């Protein structure tokens, strides 16, 4: 039987993509209760007392967020001289078992980038070396944040008065260390506030200073880039993505490629062309790969492979 005849005959129903979109839409509303409040004009703040104690539910920039999600709680704990063993353990456990399923299927910021990338037009790809360098940026950000938070944790243990003074001097940085690095913050907090000011016509200034204007422009540019370069923010800047990639590289859940079925890059290479994280799938080991933790398990490669050569493995 020729290789050609081993191809999937008809294009099957894209069950992975459709299921993923449904999960993403449901997750979007579940995680971003602010969206529910806005769309249906309802006040969900009555649930505040039930939600606030559970950082896993009370996640990125929801309507009740005074801090933020699980990851920001971890950083904030470090800045108070505490090691968040429980949250860290939970984070490691979840990522080791599910890899970056959250990024591919649940994260609302990922979902919005997927929508932007679905705008008709050919997705662009960056050069391999540039892609590698860009992917490192998010690691630098999270390492920087951890070091700074540990530093503040040490200050807290030595001189709490000084800690309080610095906290005030730094504005919201110690309360919301991820805020300045978060597209989630921009989409569900900053942008939402600006729209509200314009909508209500209160006459309040949209920006308090030049830094806010620059930050606004920066994230608009990131959104525009995400329309051309799929998952641009996830790949380059997301601090959660950086930490998850580090752990996910050791995850038991990973994709594998059947060496008998796969015909390789010269004859096919479709999997690499559709991968939103621009992973060099065909340079990865057959038995299992995570693309150095960058694979978000979106399943696009598996769905697009004409030879059904990609499989999901656990263990």
Residues lying near ligand SF4 in the complex (CB under 6 A) are found at 255, 257, 262-264, 268-271, 274-277, 279, 281-282, 291, 295-301, 305, 307, 309-310
Least CB distance to ligand SF4 at residue 308 (A): 8
Nearer to ligand SF4, 243 or 296 (CB): 296
Residue 109 contacts residue 238 (beta carbons within 8 Å) = yes
Longest pairwise C-alpha distance within the chain: 77
Least CB distance to ligand SF4 at residue 108 (A): 18
**Cα(70)–Cα(99) distance, rounded to whole angstroms?**
17
For 126, the 3-state DSSP assignment is coil
Least CB distance to ligand SF4 at residue 109 (A): 16
Least CB distance to ligand SF4 at residue 11 (A): 13
The DSSP bridge partners found for residue 2 are none
Both structure tokens of 44: 């969900």
Nearer to ligand SF4, 63 or 99 (CB): 99
Nearer to ligand SF4, 90 or 274 (CB): 274
Nearer to ligand SF4, 15 or 220 (CB): 15
**Cα(178)–Cα(185) distance, rounded to whole angstroms?**
8
Interior angle at CA 260, CA 254 and CA 266, nearest 5? 90
For 169, the 3-state DSSP assignment is helix
Least CB distance to ligand SF4 at residue 285 (A): 13
Helices 15-31, 33-40: inter-axial angle, 10-degree rounding:
80
Nearer to ligand SF4, 51 or 297 (CB): 297
**Cα(13)–Cα(303) distance, rounded to whole angstroms?**
9
Q: How much is the CA Rg of the chain, to the nearest whole Å? A: 21
Least CB distance to ligand SF4 at residue 221 (A): 24
Nearer to ligand SF4, 6 or 37 (CB): 6
**Cα(5)–Cα(205) distance, rounded to whole angstroms?**
64
Both structure tokens of 96: 């080791």
Least CB distance to ligand SF4 at residue 265 (A): 6
Nearer to ligand SF4, 130 or 160 (CB): 130
């Amino acid at each position: 039987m020729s290789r050609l005849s081993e191809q999937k005959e008809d294009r099957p129903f894209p069950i992975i993509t459709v299921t993923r979109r449904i999960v993403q839409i449901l997750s979007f509303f579940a995680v971003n209760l602010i969206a529910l409040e806005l769309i249906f004009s309802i006040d969900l703040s009555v649930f505040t007392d039930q939600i606030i104690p559970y950082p896993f539910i009370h996640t990125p920039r929801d309507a009740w967020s005074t801090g933020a999600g699980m990851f920001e709680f971890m950083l904030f704990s470090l800045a108070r001289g505490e090691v968040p063993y429980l949250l860290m353990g939970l984070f490691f456990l979840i990522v080791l078992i599910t890899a970056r399923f959250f990024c591919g299927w649940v994260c609302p910021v990922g979902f919005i980038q997927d929508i932007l990338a679905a705008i008709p037009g050919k997705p662009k790809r960056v050069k391999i070396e540039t892609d590698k360098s860009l992917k490192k940026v998010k690691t630098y950000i999270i390492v920087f944040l951890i070091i700074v938070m540990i530093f503040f944790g040490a200050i807290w243990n030595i001189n709490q008065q000084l800690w309080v003074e610095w906290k005030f001097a730094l504005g919201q940085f110690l309360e919301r260390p991820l805020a300045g690095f978060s597209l989630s913050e921009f989409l569900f907090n900053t942008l939402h506030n600006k729209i509200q000011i314009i909508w209500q016509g209160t006459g309040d200034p949209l920006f308090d200073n030049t830094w806010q204007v620059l930050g606004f422009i920066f994230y608009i540019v990131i959104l525009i880039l995400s329309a051309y370069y799929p998952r641009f923010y996830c790949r380059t800047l997301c601090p959660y993505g950086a930490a998850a990639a580090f752990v996910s590289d050791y995850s038991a859940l990973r994709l594998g490629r059947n060496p008998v079925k796969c015909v390789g890059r010269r004859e096919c290479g479709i999997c690499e062309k559709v991968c939103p994280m621009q992973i060099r799938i065909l340079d990865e080991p057959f038995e299992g790969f995570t693309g150095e933790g960058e694979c978000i398990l979106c399943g696009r490669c598996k769905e697009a492979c004409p030879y059904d050569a990609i499989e999901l493995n656990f263990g």
